[in-house]
């Protein structure tokens, strides 16, 4: 296996090559992965070496720099695309109980779904908003740095083999209908109603290099910060703080927290377990 080229005796060499690779990617293409979790980067790079039959990170770097098509494949490797509809149903239940009543107080509100991946959780949010009678009163911005997954999200077409899991998640989240009320089946796929995305703008945005996206009432960025090193986590949390209106809501994943962030005191907890926070008015 390719991984055997990097054993304990030359682990330092691997780390140096990885650092040089990320620097080269930033200089050549403008994508900045230098402050991503080193464990995540190493895992994905070794996977790419294995499936590409390339013997070293240095040779991989040469191919990435010279071959844009190959770089796009590598970009998919580093993109965080683990998602499903109504992922962590208890989160959506908390959203219904704790956040929806607050959103009802606005005549119009804006939501930023950062790191939306292929869009399953965006459609989950749209379904929840529709059931609560709020979809027509909002604008949702769904963003990701990976344009390939954004195209999938825009289409709203997913494999039918996953729908049983999605249906179970939906019911556990407090759904009031059947998930099948929101899609049509066709040739092994499910196509979600375009009505659900009529208030959604899918856009290219990089949390690492881009600035404030919009002034919003609610931000969802779940299970993304765990792939960042602490200094990058702090930078992104500061970005979210600047993007939220006073008393705006920030939703993170259950394995993430702002407790140890230098910006932690700028938020107060709404739901400790589900990592839902409210921006303090200072």
In order, the DSSP letters of 65-114 are: HH-HHHHHHHHHHHS-----TTSSHHHHHHIIIIIHHHHTT-SSEEEEEE
Strand, helix or coil for residue 218: strand
Q: Are residues 155 and 67 in the same domain?
A: no
Look at residue 104 in the predicted model and tell me its pLDDT. 97
Q: Are residues 71 and 115 in the same domain?
A: no
Q: Are residues 136 and 32 in the same domain?
A: no
Q: Are residues 153 and 249 in the same domain?
A: yes
Q: Which residues in 71-104 are b (16+ Cβ under 10 Å) and which e?
A: beebbeebbbeebbbbbbbebbbbbbeebbebbe
Q: What is the pTM of this model?
A: 0.92
Q: Give the number of other CB atoms < 10 A from CB of residue 249.
A: 23
Count of domains in the chain? 2
Look at residue 9 in the predicted model and tell me its pLDDT. 58
Mean pLDDT by 10 residues, the chain (282 residues): 56 91 97 95 94 93 96 91 93 97 97 96 98 97 95 95 95 96 94 97 95 92 94 95 96 89 91 96 76
Q: Are residues 26 and 166 in the same domain?
A: no
Show the tokens assigned to 182.
């929101």
Look at residue 1 in the predicted model and tell me its pLDDT. 45
Look at residue 6 in the predicted model and tell me its pLDDT. 62
Domain that holds residue 239: 89-279
The Cα 25–Cα 252 span in angstroms is 28
The CATH number that applies at residue 242 is 3.40.50.150
Q: Does residue 84 form part of some domain?
A: no
CB 99 within 8 A of CB 276: yes
């Amino acid at each position: 296996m390719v991984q055997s080229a990097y054993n304990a005796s030359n682990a330092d060499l691997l780390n140096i090559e990885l650092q040089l690779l990320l620097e080269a990617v930033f200089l050549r293409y403008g994508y900045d992965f230098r402050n991503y979790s080193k464990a995540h980067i190493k895992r994905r790079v070794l996977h790419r070496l294995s499936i590409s039959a390339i013997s070293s990170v240095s040779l991989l770097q040469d191919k990435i720099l010279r071959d844009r098509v190959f770089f796009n494949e590598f970009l998919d490797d580093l993109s965080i695309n683990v998602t499903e509809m109504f992922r962590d149903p208890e989160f959506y239940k908390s959203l219904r109980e704790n956040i929806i009543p607050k959103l009802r107080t606005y005549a119009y509100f804006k939501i930023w779904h950062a790191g939306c991946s292929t869009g399953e959780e965006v459609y989950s949010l749209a379904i929840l908003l529709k059931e609560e009678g709020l979809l027509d009163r909002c604008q949702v911005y769904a963003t990701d740095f990976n344009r390939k997954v954004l195209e999938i999200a825009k289409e709203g077409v997913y494999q039918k083999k996953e729908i049983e899991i999605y249906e179970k998640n939906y019911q556990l989240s407090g759904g009031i209908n059947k998930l099948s009320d929101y899609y049509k089946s066709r040739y092994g796929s499910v196509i979600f109603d375009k009505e659900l995305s009529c208030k959604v703008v899918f856009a290219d945005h990089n949390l690492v290099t881009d600035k404030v996206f919009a002034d919003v009432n609610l931000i969802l960025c779940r299970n993304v910060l765990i792939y960042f090193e602490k200094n990058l986590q702090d930078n992104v949390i500061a970005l979210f703080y600047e993007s939220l209106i006073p008393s705006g809501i920030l939703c993170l994943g259950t394995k993430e927290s702002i407790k140890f962030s230098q910006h932690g005191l700028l938020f107060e907890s709404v739901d400790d377990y589900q990592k839902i926070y409210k921006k303090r008015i200072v």
